Amino acid sequence: MRIVPILIAILVSALIYAFVFERERLLALLPAPTPEASETASDTPDTDAPSNAPDKVGVVAIHSQARVIDSAVILRGRTEADRLVELRAETSGLVISEPLRKGAFVAKGDLLCRLDPAARNANLAEARARLAEAMTRIPEAEARAAEARAQLAEAEINVNAAENLERGGFASQTRVAATRADLSSARASVQSASSGLEAARAGIESARAAVSAAESEIARLEIAAPFEGVLETDTAEIGSLLQPGALCATVLQLDPIALVGFVSEMQVARVERGAMATARLASGQTVEGRVSFLSRAADNTTRTFRVEIEVPNPDLTLRDGETAEITISAEGKTAHLLPQSALTLDDEGTLGVRIVDAESRALFTPITLLRDTPQGVWMTGLPESADVIVIGQEYVTDGVPVSPAFQELGQ
């Protein structure tokens, strides 16, 4: 039984030796192939032979055509009163007017708080009396000035006469000295009278200032609405004591009302003053207005720019502080709407998509995002018409042949 494996091993070894070392002799012993067999063999393709044509990668793509869209700027913001002022007392006093309740409409000039005048009317009367007294001193001072000037003229004449008589030997030097002394005295009287006149005039100005201060103090007793609006707080209660700086009332002006938002550095160049804007409030109401203000300085913390939109509010249905989604119209742009899954990055981290070029090769193209919508992403940077790879773009690089299967957007 053991000899059979040995014989099989010897036979296999002999066959291997003959096939390796005596291959040519074995082939010579085989019959030659017929011409028909040769032709058949030549017509059969050799599937094992390497092909020079490169293999194509299967991808899914869509035909995309550029469209003109309104590249609006969308912000989150709030409503804000056009004007808000806190009316405070400028002087102290007891409130003697009946209070107005918050929510009341007030017109410009309506009285909100009146304070007790106390002794202020008496102070005004005293100031006016002092003014009248000061004004009566003017004629007296002017008369004294005129008298002093006349005495000065007389003294000058006497000095000239005495000097002429002295030169002719008809007057003594003592008389000349006396007339000169009278002249100096007359000049001093003129100076004194002029000073008295100026003092009287200064007294009038001082009395007028006192009258003006007393009148201003009385005017501060009444606090009126500076513009038409709505009371946000109750006015001061009757009998309460207001000190300087104490709050009388808060007034809001809600017509027009402002929509306030903050635009980023990337979008601020697309916002222009006077541009139309719409806003959808948290209550569901939609309003329209125009951009009235665009800040020139960015916020130091958020690096955003303040935008204000003026909206008419004649019926005062819009309130201060409501949340709003603001859409500001901007210049239209040509863009493609593509699914967000089509986006990819190149080796340098640039955002873009891969398209199929005219030679059916993959080509990376950088893009700029405009707006994100539920249907897809609007982007620019692509040709007017492009075949964009939406599935398989991560498995190909630039220049790789692709075999695209096209589908419609949304499938």
Q: What is the domain class of 58-69+335-407 according to CATH? A: mainly beta
DSSP-assigned letter for residue 184: H
Q: What number of other Cβ atoms are within 10 A of residue 225's Cβ?
A: 21
pTM summary value: 0.52
Q: What number of other Cβ atoms are within 10 A of residue 218's Cβ?
A: 16
Letter for the amino acid at 132? A
**pLDDT, tens digit, for every residue of 246-268?**
999 999 988 889 999 999 888 88
CATH architecture of structural domain 87-115+222-248: Beta Barrel (2.40)
- Contacts with 354 (C-beta within 8 Å, 6 or more apart), sequence order: 344, 362, 363, 364, 365, 388, 389, 393, 396
**pLDDT, tens digit, for every residue of 188-234?**
888 888 888 888 888 888 889 999 999 999 999 999 999 998 998 99
Taking a C-beta distance cutoff of 8 angstroms, is the pair 389, 402 a contact? yes
> Could you tell me whether strands 247-263 and 305-311 are parallel, antiparallel, or unpaired per DSSP bridges?
antiparallel
How far is the C-alpha of 112 from the C-alpha of 129, rounded, in Å?
Answer: 32
How far is the C-alpha of 134 from the C-alpha of 125, rounded, in Å?
Answer: 14
Mean residue pLDDT of the chain comes to 84
pLDDT at 54: 57
Question: What's the rounded mean pLDDT across residues 136-155?
Answer: 84
How far is the C-alpha of 203 from the C-alpha of 211, rounded, in Å?
Answer: 12
pLDDT at 225: 93
Taking a C-beta distance cutoff of 8 angstroms, is the pair 233, 102 a contact? yes
pLDDT at 345 over 80: yes
CATH of 251-332 given 1.10.1200.10, 2.40.30.170, 1.10.10.60, 1.10.760.10: 2.40.30.170
Q: Is 407 left (phi over 0), alpha (psi -120 to 50) or beta?
A: beta
Letter for the amino acid at 302? T
In 3D space, the residue among 127, 147, 143, 144 whose CA is nearest the CA of residue 204 turns out to be: 127
In 3D space, the residue among 262, 241, 252 whose CA is nearest the CA of residue 82 turns out to be: 252
Q: Give me the residue spans of the domains in the chain.
A: 58-69+335-407, 87-115+222-248, 119-220, 251-332
pLDDT at 282 over 80: yes
How far is the C-alpha of 147 from the C-alpha of 269, rounded, in Å?
Answer: 80
Tracing tokens 């027009």 back to the chain, one arrives at: 256
How far is the C-alpha of 11 from the C-alpha of 13, rounded, in Å?
Answer: 5
Q: Find the angle CA(37)-CA(42)-CA(44) to the nearest 5 degrees.
A: 95
DSSP 107-134: -TT-EEEEB--TTHHHHHHHHHHHHHHH
The answer to which of 1-5, 282-286, 289-293 has the lowest mean pLDDT is 1-5
**pLDDT, tens digit, for every residue of 57-108?**
888 999 999 888 766 788 899 999 988 999 999 999 999 999 999 989 999 9
Common-topology check for domains 58-69+335-407 and 119-220: no
Tracing tokens 């913001």 back to the chain, one arrives at: 77
Question: What's the rounded mean pLDDT across residues 320-344?
Answer: 87
Q: What CATH topology corresponds to 119-220?
A: Helix Hairpins (1.10.287)
pLDDT at 354: 93
Give me the phi and psi of 324, to 5 degrees please: -145, 145
pLDDT at 40 over 90: no
**pLDDT, tens digit, for every residue of 402-411?**
998 888 765 5
